[in-house]
Amino acid sequence: MSAIDSLPPLREVIAQHGLSARKSLGQNFLLDLNLTAKIARQAGNLSSCDVLEIGPGPGGLTRGLLSEGARRVLVIEKDRRCLPALQEIAAAYPGRLEILEGDALEIDPLAHLTPPIRVVANLPYNVGTELLVRWLTPPDWPPFWESLTLMFQREVAERIVAEPGSKAYGRLAILAQWRAEARIAMQLPPGAFTPPPKVSSAVVHLTALPQPRFPANPAILSRVVAAAFNQRRKMLRAALKGVSPHIEDLLVEAGLKPTDRAEQIPLEGFCALARAVERESQGKSG
Ligand code: SAM
């Protein structure tokens, strides 16, 4: 492990600050600074960007982002035990690291950031998925971020980039691919983390498109897709019964077969259905 900065190795930082990993906070730390610098590079050239990092922990990825030249990094960390270690990093990179303590699901970081903004994070699975869905479904587009570079369990990463017809295809694929370009940028074995998790991980890189691939209201699209995949083995006319009493007509209006199953429907079909549902709710349906 060669040094990427003048700060102590992460194992020393963890020992010095007593940062034993807590399962309840999903703490699996990356301690190899060459690896964290490599993850930071997946986010592209950061020299003219502010970076939002959620869950910095002892700061391995934070140090990667700063050593790779990020203009500024804002971190949000829930575990206050990590704050002294993060303050040491802030002192080594004067004026470039701001630390917020708290729950990323409850903090609005925008007042602390100047565009262009990129998001980079290695987060617990449930928090990561929740934040990803929020970042993908704001009412207006483009969003506050240019790109998201996020670590997930490999199985979740595969759901984000999945194509129609595959088992992994579902809500995450549709929401991600509707408004962004999504790809798996890196795969990591459990042994890359301390302590090692049970499963492999992958870094997903999403770039915001200037506008969604097809028009649709985000809230309606989310609702339709959630209902369709909640009962993914059922035909659409049954799975979507709760969306509208006239769902068969709306499916036909959207160019879909009421007997199709969610797994077969491409993104374009779900967007057409969301538009038909919206027209009906506005009383404009034929
Ligand atoms: N980024 C570090 C790394 O790569 O070594 C730590 C990664 S660890 C998987 C996840 C981090 O997210 C932990 O430091 C944990 O305390 C923090 N965390 C968990 N839930 C959080 C939340 N809701 N808001 C902010 N941070 C959270």
One-character DSSP codes across the chain: ---SSSSPPHHHHHHHHT----GGGT--EE--HHHHHHHHHTT---TT-EEEEE--TTSHHHHHHHHTT-SEEEEEES-GGGHHHHHHHHHHSTTTEEEEES-TTT---GGG--SSEEEEEE--HHHHHHHHHHHH--SSSS-SEEEEEEEEEHHHHHHHS--TTSTT-SHHHHHHHHHEEEEEEEEE-GGGEES--SS-EEEEEEEE-SS-SS---HHHHHHHHHHHHHTTTSBHHHHTTTT-TTHHHHHHHTT--TT-BGGG--HHHHHHHHHHHHHHHTT---
Question: According to CATH, where is 3.40.50.150 located in the chain?
Answer: 10-208
Question: Is pLDDT of 8 > 70?
Answer: yes
Give the span between the Cα atoms of 265 and 170, in whole angstroms: 10
Question: Is pLDDT of 196 > 90?
Answer: yes
Confidence (pLDDT) at 285: 46
191's CB contacts (< 8 A; 6+ apart) are none
Confidence (pLDDT) at 1: 47
Q: Average per-residue pLDDT in the chain?
A: 96
CATH of 10-208, one of 1.20.1260.10, 3.40.50.720, 2.40.160.20, 3.40.50.150: 3.40.50.150
Give the residue-averaged pLDDT of 97-108.
Answer: 98
Give the residue-averaged pLDDT of 223-246.
Answer: 96
Give the span between the Cα atoms of 197 and 275, in whole angstroms: 42
**Ligand 1 lined by 269 (C-beta under 6 Å):** no
- For ligand 1, the distance from its centroid to the CA atom of residue 133, given in whole angstroms, is 18
pLDDT band at 126 (very low <50, low <70, confident <90, very high): confident
In this structure, what token pair is assigned to residue 160? 């984000």
Confidence (pLDDT) at 190: 98
**Ligand 1 lined by 77 (C-beta under 6 Å):** yes
Question: Is pLDDT of 3 > 80?
Answer: no
**Ligand 1 lined by 149 (C-beta under 6 Å):** no
Give the residue-averaged pLDDT of 98-110.
Answer: 97
Question: Is pLDDT of 117 > 90?
Answer: yes
Give the span between the Cα atoms of 173 and 158, in whole angstroms: 9
- Rounded to the nearest angstrom, the gap between the alpha carbon of residue 247 and the centroid of all alpha carbons in its chain is 31
Give the residue-averaged pLDDT of 100-129.
Answer: 96
- For ligand 1, the distance from its centroid to the CA atom of residue 46, given in whole angstroms, is 21
Domain spanning 218-285: CATH superfamily? rRNA adenine dimethylase, C-terminal domain (1.10.8.100)
**Contact 56/23 with Cβ under 8 angstroms?**
no
Half-sphere exposure of 26 (CA within 13 A, CB side): 16
Question: Is pLDDT of 53 > 60?
Answer: yes
Question: Is pLDDT of 36 > 70?
Answer: yes
Query: Whole-model pTM above 0.85?
Result: yes
**Ligand 1 lined by 153 (C-beta under 6 Å):** no
**Ligand 1 lined by 151 (C-beta under 6 Å):** no
**Ligand 1 lined by 254 (C-beta under 6 Å):** no
Question: Is pLDDT of 154 > 70?
Answer: yes
Confidence (pLDDT) at 284: 59
Question: According to CATH, where is 1.10.8.100 located in the chain?
Answer: 218-285
Question: Is pLDDT of 2 > 70?
Answer: no
Give the residue-averaged pLDDT of 171-187.
Answer: 98
**Ligand 1 lined by 275 (C-beta under 6 Å):** no
Give the residue-averaged pLDDT of 94-122.
Answer: 98
Give the residue whose CA is nearest to atom 14 of ligand 1: 57
Question: Is pLDDT of 286 > 50?
Answer: no
Give the span between the Cα atoms of 106 and 166, in whole angstroms: 34
Give the residue whose CA is nearest to atom 10 of ligand 1: 123
